[in-house]
A = this chain, B = another copy of it.
Amino acid sequence: MHIYSFLQAVRDKKPLVHHITNWVTIYDCAQVVKSLGASPVMAHAPEEAAAMSGIASALVLNIGTLTTEVIESMKIAGAAANRKGIPVILDACGAGATEYRNRKSLELLDAVKIDVIKGNASEVASIAGLAVATKGVDVGEVADDLRGVAKTLSQQRACTVAVTGAEDIVVGQGKMFLVGNGHPMMANVVGTGCMATSVIGTFAGANPEQLPEAVAAGLACYEIAAELAVKKSEGPGSFKQHLFDCVLQLDEKQIRSLQQVH
C-alpha cells in the first residue's frame, strides 16, 4: 500500500469535511483537518445540516457530547450524505458508558448508512453488542478477540471498522490492516481519538473508492506525525501544538521510513 499517495490526494483535492461533533475537541478536529490541507466545516443546526453535507466530501459524526437534538441533526446530515454518496464516519466516543449513549449510537446506525465506525476497544465492543465495561478494558489481553470483534461488526453493518489502540485494527471489504504507529503520549492528550476520526474522514473524503486503505493510511500518517511531534515535546501541552505542525509538514520520506502498516 502506497500510503503517501492517499495523503497526496487529500492535499490535491482539499476535501470539505462536514462535522457534527462534540464541544470538547471541536477545535482540534477542525485544526487537524486544516493542517492536512483540507477544509473543515462544523455545522449542527438541523435547518442547514443537509445543505452542508450536500456540499461536502465526507461527513464526520462524533457523539462525545451528544444530545437528542444533536443526534437528530446527525440523522438529517447522514441522510443527505447517503443520498450524495459521500463517506460517513462515526466516532463512537464514550459508547458503553451509559445506556442512553448506547441506545442513541444504535439509533444512528439504524437511521444512517455509516461507512466507517471508529472507536477504542471498549467503544467498538459496545457498538458490536458485546458487554464490555467502558473503564478498565485491557487492550493487550483481548487483542486476538478484538480482531474478531472488528470483523464481526464490519460484517454486521457492512462497513469499515477501525479499532484504535497500541496497534490499530482496520477491517473492511474483507481486508484487514494493522497500524503500529503512534506513541503512548497520545493517551495523555484529550482529543487524540477525536482527531483520528477527523483524519479518517478527510482521507475517506479524498479517497472514497478505497475506504479501508484510506482509513489505514490516514491513521498511519496521523500517528507518524505524532511520533515526530513527541520528539519535540516536553509533555501533553507542547505535544499537541507540535502535532499540528508535524501534520502540516509530513512528507513522503518520513512516511516511507516510519510507516508500520501491515
Q: Using a CB–CB distance below 8 Å, which chain A residues touch chain B?
A: 16, 22-28, 30-31, 34-35, 39-45, 47-48, 51-52, 55, 64-68, 94, 97-101, 134-135, 188-191, 232-238, 240-246, 248-249
Task: Please tell me if the beta carbons of B237 and A34 are within 8 angstroms of each other in the complex.
Answer: no
Task: Please tell me if the beta carbons of A236 and B31 are within 8 angstroms of each other in the complex.
Answer: yes
Task: Please tell me if the beta carbons of A245 and B235 are within 8 angstroms of each other in the complex.
Answer: yes
Check A45/B236 contact, CB under 8 A, given A23-B23, A188-B248, A190-B30.
no
Task: Please tell me if the beta carbons of B31 and A28 are within 8 angstroms of each other in the complex.
Answer: no
Task: Identify the closest chain B residue to A191 (Cβ).
Answer: B27
Task: Please tell me if the beta carbons of A97 and B31 are within 8 angstroms of each other in the complex.
Answer: no
A238-B25 Cα distance, complex, nearest whole Å: 18
Task: Please tell me if the beta carbons of B51 and A98 are within 8 angstroms of each other in the complex.
Answer: yes
Q: Note all chain B residues with C-beta closer than 8 A to A41.
A: 94, 97
* Whole-angstrom distance between the Cβ of A17 and the nearest chain B Cβ: 12
Q: Note all chain B residues with C-beta closer than 8 A to A23.
A: 23, 26, 42
Task: Please tell me if the beta carbons of B234 and A189 are within 8 angstroms of each other in the complex.
Answer: no
17 more contacts with CB within 8 A, not counting A24-B26, A48-B101, are A23-B42, A24-B30, A27-B190, A27-B191, A34-B190, A34-B236, A35-B235, A42-B65, A45-B66, A48-B99, A48-B100, A234-B249, A235-B242, A235-B246, A236-B244, A237-B241, A238-B242
Task: Please tell me if the beta carbons of A245 and B241 are within 8 angstroms of each other in the complex.
Answer: no
Q: Note all chain B residues with C-beta closer than 8 A to A99.
A: 48, 51
Q: Note all chain B residues with C-beta closer than 8 A to A64.
A: 42
Q: Note all chain B residues with C-beta closer than 8 A to A236.
A: 31, 34-35, 244-245, 248
- Can you list 18 A-B pairs, Cβ within 8 angstroms, ordered by A? A24-B27, A30-B190, A31-B189, A31-B190, A34-B236, A40-B190, A48-B98, A48-B101, A51-B99, A51-B100, A232-B234, A234-B249, A235-B248, A236-B244, A237-B245, A238-B241, A240-B241, A241-B241
